[in-house]
Chain A
Amino acid sequence: MTGPVVRSQTADRLDGLGRAALVGYLPVGYPDVPTSVEAVRALIDNGADVVELGMPYTDPLMDGPVIQHAVDAALRGGVRVRDTLRAVEQVAGRGAPILVMTYWNLVLRYGVEAFARDLAAAGGAGLITPDLIPDEAGVWIDASDEHGLDRVFLVAPSSTPERLVSTAAACRGFVYAASTMGVTGERATLGSGAERLVADTRAAGAAHVCVGLGVSRPDQAAQVATYADGVIVGSALVRAVTEGVQDGTGLDALARTTAALADGVRSAVRPGVGSRS
């Protein structure tokens, strides 16, 4: 793919670490908008290197029950798309690029160009789009080039070699490798498929590949961090917030979970990549 050379906030951050990044997902508006902003700050302060900020959507078909429940609650609480842009403004500039994770209709409705403009103005790094493949993303590719935003598309174990090449070429920031066929959620084991997918995606031309879906424990994060550029965790963090909702300890639980995952990521030894930093 040829086009203007756009500097990537997220790729710069990944390159600067010299180790795998912890990429933490939280949805805006859960349990309410101010607390969710505090939660993102806690996430960054406790070791998340990149933030994936979810825009609640009525039909989150790539998400498992933990995240579905949280975004459903956020929507019932009245969260709006513009709350995400405000939240980005409030958490940007703390050292962790803020990528917004969104289903495509929300951006389409806002206006692709307008959303890109406002996200860039708020200090956001770019978008992760679980239901938008590069084949359908022409307007977004143009807008993200125009406004200097990252665009993270997904690859899956079922992706053909040709699609790995075209998706890697369309991404900026990193390629999101789905560790397994399925939706978000915590899993006991990740299997060897993720490592192979990362290797194949790199071979297809991707500069950075982060792994998501199913990673929830520090030992899993440490394992993934040996071969990926980033470890994406969502449901385990959301669950920490959920467990503390009733008694107000959600942020403490989130901080502990994040710190443990960050330790896991930092403990990983990455064969052959030490010379990069």
Chain B
Amino acid sequence: MEQAVGPLSTHSGPYFGEFGGRFVPEALVAALDELETAFHKALADPSFGAELARLHRTYTGRPSPLTEVPRFAAHVGEHVRVFLKREDLNHTGSHKINNVLGQALLVKRMGKKRVIAETGAGQHGVATATAAALLDLECTVYMGEEDTRRQALNVARMRLLGAEVIPVTIGSRTLKDAINEALRDWVANVDTTHYLLGTVTGPHPFPEMVRDFHKIIGEEARAQLLAETGRLPDAVLACVGGGSNAMGIFNAFLDEPSVRLFGFEAGGRGITPGDHAARFSGGVPGVLQGTRSYLLQDEDGQTIPSHSVSAGLDYPSVGPEHAWLHDIGRAQYRPVSDEQAMEAFSLLCRTEGIIPAIESAHALAGAILLGAEASTWAVEHGQEPILLVNLSGRGDKDVATAAAWFGLVDDAAATPTEGEQL
């Protein structure tokens, strides 16, 4: 199963070390083979790359800016510089659009007419609904019922864009269950339908393909940071649910040993099973939804429900390439609690005027947690350490959650009393 490693940044599936693979019903194998062939043909075809680049430039708004955030950095540590890669400024408000446009162009090439997707926080669902509208594809989005409640605004956005949103009412009613429903739909409709999977997990070739559509994040950030500072960052930080934004930014730095890579996963309310989604600190390798990776599971192998204040991070497994990077020691994965994430969320709002997605706030909290550690890195090269944080999405969708968390909604003031005219 082991492959020759070569440069880490070009490593291909189906296996990443002992992780990855294709643990799927036989009915899907032909479609996965078709997808793999179409993807590799597209990569070799300059017209595909040109069309995707055109869409990124004229539709997504790439390159996304790199923003230095000194007032936030002052809370991280003395003499630490922090730069944010602004994926929040992409059309649809997150990095998800990078992958969605790539896969949607592939769908057109494969001659399929319909896409299905799963979504947790709604960012991937909104991006998929957007690309479907743009490229005239029928679109169905599965979303756990619990998440449709937490992310009602995104449900409305998807419906405005013409997508059918189906709340999933079985199991934990979150992202994992939405993926099961999408897989069931795909098995039944694979002739006409593409499963536009939203992160770097699932069966081969999804982890490799989704990473390749997101690696533009790291490539841009690397060039922008070099232009701005003349050197590479000391550390790259990203939040990790399935892990697509993290893999996208890590990729450009995987073969630079001087660059430390940190993934921050949802530590939730604490270490009790069911209270977090920290797969690396609380999980063991197993198989879920087509791939072998770290997995929150009980002693029987049943998936343990996970929790995070962020609907986008409460997935019980993680992309197989992350599992591999963890095991070979190339990247470090640490948990961030709900509370730490929300403090960082608030801090970025107040110091820089940027409302981040709660997912991304986990990476910001990670920067604060690294603080003192980062300050010591300065000794290594006699310069201020540079942290590059991927701001994977913006917080519009999370305003209701944040307002409730911080007690910003005054119910009495919002509800007129009897006879009162506002």
Contact = CB atoms under 8 A, between A and B. Distances in A.
Interface string A150-175: 00011111111001000100000000
A80 interface: yes
A59 B29 contact: no
Interface stretch (A3-11, A106-114, A215-223): A106-114
Interface residues of A, number: 41
A75 B25 contact: no
A183 B300 CA distance: 24
Contacts of A158: 26-31, 190
B301 A105 contact: yes
Contact of A133 (B22, B177, B180, B299): B22
Given A108-B286, A181-B190, A133 B26 contact: yes
Given A58-B171, A61-B183, A108 B25 contact: no
Interface string B296-312: 01011111000000000
B295 interface: yes
A153 B26 contact: yes
B24 interface: yes
A132 interface: yes
Contact of A181 (B27, B183, B289, B290): B27
Given A61-B184, A72-B171, A104 B300 contact: no
Contacts, number: 111
Contact of A75 (B22, B180, B191, B302): B302
Contacts of B29: 133, 158-159, 163
Nearest to B298: A109
Contact of B301 (A108, A156, A160): A108
B25 A106 contact: no
A121 interface: no
Contact of A167 (B26, B189, B286): B26
Given A108-B287, A109-B286, A136-B21, A61 B180 contact: yes
Contacts of A154: 25-27
Interface residues of B, number: 35
A186 interface: no
A136 B23 contact: yes
A135 B22 contact: yes
A30 interface: no
A106 B288 CA distance: 10
B86 interface: no
B26 A155 contact: yes
Nearest to B31: A158
A203 interface: no
B188 interface: yes
Contacts of B187: 61-62, 181-183
A178 interface: yes
A62 B181 CA distance: 10
Contact of A59 (B25, B31, B288, B299): B288
A105 B287 contact: yes
Contacts of B30: 158-160, 163
A109 B299 CA distance: 7
A131 B286 contact: no
Contacts of B176: 59
Given A80-B300, A109-B301, A131 B24 contact: yes
Interface string B1-36: 000000000000000000001111111111100000
Interface of A: 57-62, 64-65, 68-69, 72, 75, 80-81, 104-110, 130-133, 135-136, 153-160, 163, 167, 178, 181-183
6 closest A-B pairs by CB: A109-B301, A156-B27, A182-B188, A158-B30, A106-B301, A58-B303
Given A109-B301, A158-B31, A182-B184, 17 more contacts: A58-B302, A59-B176, A60-B180, A62-B187, A80-B300, A104-B23, A105-B287, A106-B301, A108-B301, A110-B300, A131-B25, A133-B26, A158-B26, A159-B29, A181-B187, A181-B190, A181-B191
